Amino acid sequence: MAKSVEDNKENMMICKDFCGICPTFKENKLKESPPHALFCARGKSEIAEKIVDKGCTCFGCPIFKRDDLEGGYFCIYGLEGKK
């Protein structure tokens, strides 16, 4: 079972290294729209419907492994990830 991810500074620092280098994140300038990052804790991007999928780097993120997350693409699909 996936654990819920906390919206805290420590997790944000980790997310920066993975969402931050993600081609989807860069291409769609996700940083500029709320919630900016840490989508696995905060939910999908406000511009989720407009996001062009260029791949997801969540799968290499230590939070993804630590909290047994599934699916990835949290910026598009919200807390549950892609099904």
Note the residues at the interface with ligand SF4 (CB under 6 A).
11, 14-15, 18-19, 22, 24-25, 30, 38-40, 56-58, 61, 63-64, 69, 72-75
Give 4 or 75: the residue with its C-beta nearer to ligand SF4: 75
Tokens 């996700």 -> residue: 30
Tally DSSP H helices, then E strands, for the chain.
5, 0
Give 18 or 33: the residue with its C-beta nearer to ligand SF4: 18
Tokens matching residue 25 = 């994140």
Give 34 or 39: the residue with its C-beta nearer to ligand SF4: 39
Gap between the Cα atoms of 55 and 35, Å rounded: 19
